[in-house]
Amino acid sequence: MKSIIRYSFLSLGIFFLFFLTACKKDFLNITPTDRLTNEAIISDSSLFENYVVNRYLGVQLQNKEAEGTPPGFGRGFEYALWSTLTDESIYNNDDQTWLIQRGQLAPENLGIAGTIWGRSYRSIRECNYALKNIGQVNMSQSHKNCLTAELKFIRAFRYVDLIRNYGGVILMSDTVYELNDNFTNPSLFKRSTIAQCMDYVGQQLDEAATGLPLNNGTNWELGRVTKGAALALKSRILLYAASPLYTNGVNDKAKWQEAANAAKDVMNLGQYSLYPDYSQLFLSYSGNSEIIFARYYAIGARHVCLEVANGPNGYDGWGGTTPLQNMVDAYEMNNGKAIEDPASGYDPQSPYISRDPRFYATILFNGAQYRGRAVEIFTPGGKDSKDGSGNWNTSKTGYYLRKFMDDNNPIQNPWNITGLQPWIYMRYAEILLNYAEAQNEVSGPDASVYSAINMIRQRAGMPVLPSGLSQDQIRVRIWNERRVELAFEEHRFYDVRRWKIASETENISAYGMDIVKNGTGNLQYTRKIAIDGRHFEEKNYWLPIPRTEIQSSGGLLQQNSGY
């Protein structure tokens, strides 16, 4: 009997243990420690600001995007630069770019050009969320004004990304969509006209410019936008808005005038000037007065390690974004004459002699000095040709990219050290070019047009433009100046479209250069086709909206025509 009692107690004791653990209150309510809630973001002003600042970042939406860090606006320093979709370059290893060069772009086959839509709208919602709630955040009104202006800039830039790729898009105003909203309402999918979009963005940028500080400083650190950035972006979109693609070919002087004024507004700020050395401009990590707005990087938040990604195979590089002959041909001789000009002195068998200094700063060509030796693209035997090591990375065009490359960076094992060059969204040279282009359309080549364009040429070490050019003549020069000055900076793609010359420029084959060293050591230069099938159709003036988006709208969203 004793033992029964004893064991009953023992068993009761054990079962009591279970009950003890069982009766904890709120057992199923767990507060996570690795994430924050709405309340935390809004009630803590510094967390709120942490949220706002990250809006400069976008979301990664496909493979081979966002190497190192999330994308910002546009495509920035990715493996295949946006340039590889133009007559500037091709991406050596394809990586979903050739289909665009070859006119195979379709709503279901977007290559690298499919992410701007989703990324932009996601950011717009995030900005709207912050704008909607900033009133509840406990911070000084002046700082709130700055953050509001900053958010409006970011949102406007997202719209610029949308408009320049898709034309008239859907304007969200301040709506913050939630999960259970009804997405079958046709009005949600109504695309505004380009003009409406431009108006909206222009107005938002005006508001941003009003609220933003003029300078970066300790309270508004470098990397956050300033008044100048808002005005510069406005200058860009007004220039676009005046261009033939956006006006349906109507030459509207008033629009050009607005564009010229917008550029002038930036110039009048007196904040910006051209950096003296074109080749170092892109490597100056701070204190560069030409930069109006750029994205900066740091160890731990880098972009693609450019030197390995684009370097010649003989240097163990991967020969990524490789310039086309089409681009090379755009560089004038250093006497200021185009190579087609018989008086230019251009020798097709010594093609790299006496060219625009920006050529040498932008393109690695056969014989260029790079990292202690001459680049050898010739065959047979050239180290950076198919006869060199790693020849699967040999350029198909006969050129490698020089611009942006920092010779202090190692090519081998760069992962935790390099990828830090700033990606310049807007710089003063663009503003001068914007001004020159717009003002020329308004008034023809007046002194201010010459002055703007010549500032750029002189900084580059090129002779000034000859005086007495006609409006048409100088337009061609301005276009080419823009092409050369802003090469690989994500302008060409949009410029050839807004000028409506893409059906011409983008239907020219992708040319490269074949360089053969003959028995006597002489080099023989022959143009060749780098990749077959380059092709552009009228519909390609705008990108197709992703098919998934048309589908999820239930067909209510109007696809761009031709797709």
Restricting to residues 263-302, name those near another protein by CB under 8 A: 286, 295-301
| CA dist., res. 311 & res. 194, Å (int) | 40
Least separation in angstroms between residue 130's CB and another protein is: 10
Which is closer to another protein, CB of 297 or CB of 450? Answer: 297
CB of 379 vs another protein, minimal distance in Å? 10
Instruction: Please state the length of the chain.
Output: 563
Could you give the angle at which helices 227-242 and 428-443 cross, rounded to 10 degrees?
40
Binding range to another protein, per CB under 8 A, among 134-142, 215-223, 342-350, 360-368: 215-223
177 vs 499 by CB, closer to another protein: 177
Using only C-alpha atoms, the chain has a radius of gyration, in whole angstroms, of 28
User: What is the rounded CA–CA span in Å between residue 458 and residue 305?
Assistant: 31
Q: Is the Cβ of residue 336 or residue 390 nearer to another protein in the bound state? A: 390
In the region spanning residues 541 to 560, those forming contacts with another protein, defined by CB under 8 A, are 546-549, 551-555, 557
Query: Rounded distance, CA 481 to CA 431, Å?
Result: 13
222 binds another protein (CB under 8 A): yes
Tally Cβ neighbours within 10 Å of residue 249. Answer: 9
CB neighbours of 47 closer than 8 A, spacing ≥ 6? 36, 40, 41
Which of these, 351, 293, 320, lies nearest to 514 by C-alpha position?
A: 351
Structure tokens at 555: 């067909």
Tell me the C-alpha distance between 131 and 151, whole Å.
Answer: 7
Reduced 3-state DSSP string for 143-199: HHHHHHHHHHHHHHHHHHHHHHHHCCCCCCCCCCCCCCCCCCCHHHHCCCCHHHHHH
396 binds another protein, rule: CB under 8 A: yes
Smallest distance from the beta carbon of 458 to another protein, in angstroms? 31
In whole angstroms, the minimum distance from the beta carbon of 196 to another protein comes to 16
In SS3 terms, 476-490 reads as: HHHHHHHHHHCCCCC
Q: Does 104 bind another protein (CB under 8 A)?
A: yes
Q: Which two tokens stand for residue 151?
A: 């958010």
Q: Name the token pair of 25.
A: 């209150």
Of residues 456, 421, 452, the one with CA closest to residue 276? 456
Closest distance to another protein from the beta carbon of 352 (Å): 22
How many residues bind another protein, per CB under 8 A? 124
Q: Which of 143, 144, 337, 386 binds another protein (CB under 8 A)?
A: 386
Q: Rule CB under 8 A: which of 153-192 touch another protein?
A: 170, 172, 176-179, 181, 183-184, 188-189
Q: How far is CA 24 from CA 11, 18, 31, 196, 514, in A?
A: 21, 11, 15, 60, 78
Closer to another protein by Cβ: residue 69 or 440: 69
Q: Which of residues 37-96 bind another protein (CB under 8 A)?
A: 37-38, 40-41, 47, 50-51, 53-54, 56-57, 59-63, 65-66, 69-70, 93-96
Nearer to another protein, 137 or 260 (CB): 137
Closest approach of another protein to the CB of residue 390, in Å: 7
**Positions in 477-516 near another protein (CB under 8 A):** none
**Minimum distance of another protein from residue 23's CB (angstroms):** 10
Residue with smaller CB distance to another protein, 233 or 309: 309
State how far Cα 32 lies from the chain centre: 37
Task: Specify the residue, 296 or 479, whose C-beta has the smaller distance to another protein.
Answer: 296
Distance of CA 373 to the CA centre of its chain: 32
Q: Which stretch binds another protein (CB under 8 A): 112-120, 233-241, 398-406, 478-486?
A: 112-120
State whether residue 257 is helix, strand or coil: helix
Of residues 86 and 393, the one with the C-beta less far from another protein: 393
Site for another protein in 409-428 (CB under 8 A): 412-413, 415-416
Among 223, 244, 336, 345, binds another protein (CB under 8 A): 223
**3 in contact with another protein (CB under 8 A):** yes
Asked if 530 interacts with another protein (CB under 8 A), we say yes
Q: Which residues contact residue 86 at a Cβ distance below 8 angstroms, ignoring those fewer than 6 apart?
A: 492, 493, 496, 506
